[in-house]
Structure 1
Amino acid sequence: MGAGALYGFIEADAGQRVVAFCGPSGAMRLAMSSSALLPSLCFENLRVAAAKLVWTGPRREPSSSGLLDVEAMREAVTTAAPQLLPADGTWLRYFCWMSSGHSVEGVDRLVSEAARPESADLAAAASVWAAAFGKQALADFLERLSASCETSRMSAALRPALRLRREGRERHADEDEFFSHIFDGHVAGVILDLAGGADVEATGPAIHQGDVGCCRWTPLAAAAEISGRRKQGAVIAGLLLAARARVDRKCPGPCGWTPLMRAASCGASAAATLQLLMRAGADVRIRHENGSTALEMGDKAAARILREARDSRMLAAPASAGPKGTGRPTAESQGSFSRGRAGPRNALALAHAGRAGHGAKAKSAGRGYFQKAQT
């Protein structure tokens, strides 16, 4: 199809068929790639087209191997900040999709729901969540969607959250308050702090009080630390990882604490956070200044959890075989798994995992996104 035919196709129905074919995010990228296409795929046309779309693909549930737990997040935020969960918060699963590798699908579904005229609250709340996860372009787009909806339908309780997000772009976030919310297990506070510009790699208070020259907390290490006594610790750790916190970042100081070490030192009570950090790619081989790894810092139950998570990760990673034809492990597999110690048994399991992954990829090919709703 030539450029003229493509433009005519878009111009004929204000871009609705293009949006229906490739989804809102794909349509916006198409529009921005050519100034000739932009008039027909302007913001208002995109909003109208997205609002008329219905999902016709398979209903997907958030992956259990993702970083975010929908039910845990909803439970933690419902009482503390109900304004962040309009429409029962069911749309949070789209952020879970984004965190588990289905970004385009999650964005398209979220935009199609937020673009409806009656969805001002949803669009405004989703804008705050998107900003908290570091997706500023999506947050700006959702905020525009909320403004284009009927303003009388937006809850007054959401306006302070939006104002906080806007002000966060112009001021330095209060890092003391950010760490206080983490240590208190205040999930809603952490979300608003991140949306307001808090740094996921901020340097916090000293780990060992009274020792001025020793190590200091990072947000993810602080979340790992509280996970031994607060169930919200795993939820906050997932939020920080989804906001692109580095899973293996060592604490600022000489000791070299990692979030995985802090969670391991809490023992089996931090099982959910240990598994989460391992799914995010945490390296169990990193050593503390005293020579210990995370495997050696916890109790026997924590060590067993780490070993099982490590072995499961190895079996589920066909990438460890390297690109086709190279016969070499990838850099990711070298950084996460032990090298040269697989043995015949594990080698056979990895081979089976590779074939299973190839079959699943072939089955998933050709998945559609949206079709235009019947009028």
Structure 2
Amino acid sequence: MLDLADVYAARERVAETARHTPLEYSHTFSRMTNADVHLKLENFQRTGSFKVRGATNRIMTLSEEEKAAGVVTASAGNHAQGVALAATRVGVDATIVMPEHAPISKLKATQEYGAEVILHGADYDAAAERAHEIEREEGRIYVHAFDDPMVMAGQGTIGLEILEDCPDVDTVIVPIGGGGLVSGIATAIKEQHPDVRVIGVQAEGAASAADSLRKGSIQEWEHVDTIADGIAVGRIGDLTFEVIRERVDDVVAVSDSEIAIALTALLERSKTLVEGAGAVPLAALLSDAFEYEEDETIVPALCGGNIDLNTLTTVIMRGLVETGRYLKIRTVLKDRPGALRQLIDVIAENRANIYAIQHDRTSRDIAMNAAEVVIDLETRGHDHVEGLVADMRAREYEVEILV
């Protein structure tokens, strides 16, 4: 099994490529949780994610013959960029297989780091099958995204940095996709400070690790569905499962709505942009997915910031809806002069801001003398939404909440 010596050895190999990322105290999230919260900003890492650590360690341990053969891997995007950069820096040819619907930003970045990219399959597992075919056909070395001791050791260097920068840490929260990151961090931390808790977090739509631990054997999910594409993995690794079972204190799951809330909170309150997988640790903390003590020192590892802009727009909107900051309603008005103005006056009295109005007299679902109105509103929280809707209904408007 992976040990602390492996992680320290990895640190020397990755030092020239990977940055020692910041660990920052958060007044906002400490106040919100009554804990002592320090954010590990791995989204500031080169390539925007922790993956460059493990990829570099694995490639640096290849023999000269293996380097000459070239490498191949599969990735949803972050591991792809890490392998591409690490391989290019030492002159190793790299081929990366990515799912067909991989975020455009991650696809372009991987190509810019110098790798050949092949799009194949609907998800990571399908891409991995094609990558293994290329491994056999071309004799390349497969660099696994997580189920490799050298990759795990590289990721574990984050744990060393956390202990150095926050020696009083009580709990570290780590995302889990395939399990390489949490395996490395747990090894680095537990072998030095066994009393420090390591909490793994998955998205509810891709919670194979939690499922596997609960049932005592590795469970493979045929379908995964989450906005956290970086951890949308249907099966954890054989090696990572053993490390998680021995060294991780608990594994919990969070919903996409909770992930969206955490992501928007980080963006708005900490001016920090993360991807879905990067927001998962904070989502677990904010949603009370695990128990902790008041004033406990907690480090959420924000593992990456590579989010597609289209996805970001969707997630921000979802976060605003979940926090009562955005409301879309439908009502029907009598089609007569002043009816729309009267409705707008009610909204103005309740101090809601109108983003957009759609006014339609032609819908077959309404009477001939009526008009359907759909309104997008900026609101100020759930209480504000409830008060606005209640007032409209009290004035005999039939209000349907669409979003």
Whether TM exceeds 0.5 here: the answer is: no
- Give 1 or 2 for the bigger CA radius of gyration: 2
- Give the TM-score taking structure 2 as reference length: 0.24
Higher strand share: 2
